[in-house]
Amino acid sequence: MSDDVTDEEVEEKQPEEQPEEQPEEVPEEESEEQSAVAETGDDTEEPQARPRDSRRRGPRRVSAGIAHVVATFNNTRVSISDQQGNVLAWSSGGRLGFKGSRKSTGYVAQQVGADAAKRAATFGMRDVEVRLKGPGAGRESAVRGIAAAGMNITILRDVTPIPHNGCRPPKRRRV
């Protein structure tokens, strides 16, 4: 049955297999670019970039913000945001190049607080409300680092979540 193919079917298959439309589209795109160059009088090869959002006029200026300090047993993270909660600057022990158990020390926490505060100072931030969370060793050290970087601490608040007898503790060990 496959030998009974007529000449008409063979002719119909050949034009479908040949993609002749692609070479025709390429000159049209070039002609559009050439017409754009002719209209603007610009001889650069790169197409014109559209201006960004008109609301962005320059570097953002924020005078007061919130420093969120998360001190765990393994690391200390500091994120500094504006009053609405949009993060402007952050830092952690790993970002500063510390690895392993050194990330959980008070010294690294102080460095993390100072680094985040310096990054936030580029936005013009001067006053900061500090919110501490977690039981780690770097709680007070991170606050010292933020203050040493030149930030004025207005409020110091502990927001560590405390359960109201939530989960059942594991059974007692028998030794």
DSSP E strand stretches across the chain: 64-71, 76-81, 87-92, 127-133, 152-158
pLDDT in tens, 25-61: 555 555 555 555 555 555 555 566 666 555 655 568 8
To the nearest 5 percent, what fractions of the chain are helix, strand and coil? 35, 20, 45
pTM, rounded to two decimals:
0.63
Structure tokens at 42: 């610009």
Cβ 115 vs Cβ 99: under 8 Å: no
H/E run at residue 9: helix 7-17
The CATH classification number of 64-158 equals: 3.30.420.80
- Residue with tokens 């919110």, as numbered in its chain: 131
pLDDT in tens, 60-105: 888 999 999 999 999 999 999 999 999 999 999 999 999 999 999 9
Helices (H), 105-138: 106-121
